Amino acid sequence: MTAQRDTAARPWLTDFLLLAAIWGSSFLFMRLSTVAFGALPTAALRVGIASLFLLPLLLLRGLGPQLRQHWKPVFLVGLLNSGIPFACYAFALLTITTGLSSILNATVPLFGALVAWAWLQDRPGGSQILGLAIGFAGVALLASNKAGLKPIAAGTPAGAMDLWAPTLAIGACLVATLCYGIAASFTKRYLGGLPPLVTATGSQIGATLGLALPALAFWPAQMPGPVAWMALLAAGVLCTGVAYILYFRLIETTGPARALAVTFVVPVFALLYGVAFLGETITPWMIGCGIVILLGTSLSTGLLRFRQ
């Protein structure tokens, strides 16, 4: 019986670690493409590539009629869950490191719990309220320090940076995580029972349509090189298309609570990728604030509880 449990656990653990590794790499790929394309074109191309990857899978499974029936709310979720967040992160990565942005991304469950409380009347308990307070305190501590900032221009020391640039970048990351929280509650309320592939594909199409015109308006004057294109292809196919499939499969096999915990592991991979490929620095302050944020997130989502 023990051997059977171990065998059943391996696919879950493999999917979990693979998804964390893939989503951790999304910050690296977004950084590489954003410096060449700009924030809005990067976000639009990422969701556009993901749409082209997912749409044939949807049609092969005969789910096209369901997407046509529910296209309005699904497209709206796409703007909230992909379009706006991807644009915000692409903008932020011009100023802050991939490691810092990934730590801020770990606040997604915090905002999810807060929005569910305000909108769905999903009132948190004492431990969860304490977790919200701890989590947002960790964000405030992280934002108050200059660790993880990038110079605006090559050769510019971080200490000489305009304070508005990092403030706007951190704010953009938090707007993105808030959008994720709103999208989660919206999906739970209006899209319950819809096949995950329908939501995933339709949301990417909706995000593509929403970002198309703004992306064209800010399209770079000079065509980016192959490295930027390869990074975008990886972000669209691997970090969006494949990642959605893994994520929804993880929900089916192990439940939403455990699937949500992947958010806690993503910063580990993102920090390692940033150091290895971009020469970024991990500071003790970033690690300490990240631990505070993860502690608050664990409490606010109910994954960690105080015994009474």
* Cβ proximity of 135 and 112 under 8 Å: no
Q: How far apart are CA 47 and CA 36, in angstroms?
A: 17
Q: How far apart are CA 44 and CA 52, in angstroms?
A: 12
pLDDT of residue 208: 97
Burial class (CB in 10 A: 0-12, 13-18, 19+), 65: exposed
* Cβ proximity of 74 and 202 under 8 Å: yes
Domain range list for the chain: 12-300
* Cβ proximity of 212 and 143 under 8 Å: no
Over the stretch 30-60, which tens digit does the pLDDT of each residue have?
Answer: 999 999 999 999 999 999 999 999 999 999 9
CA distances from 173 to 39, 60, 66, 133, 153 (A): 13, 36, 33, 19, 21
Over the stretch 263-303, which tens digit does the pLDDT of each residue have?
Answer: 778 888 998 999 999 998 888 888 888 888 888 877 876 76
Q: How far apart are CA 39 and CA 34, in angstroms?
A: 5
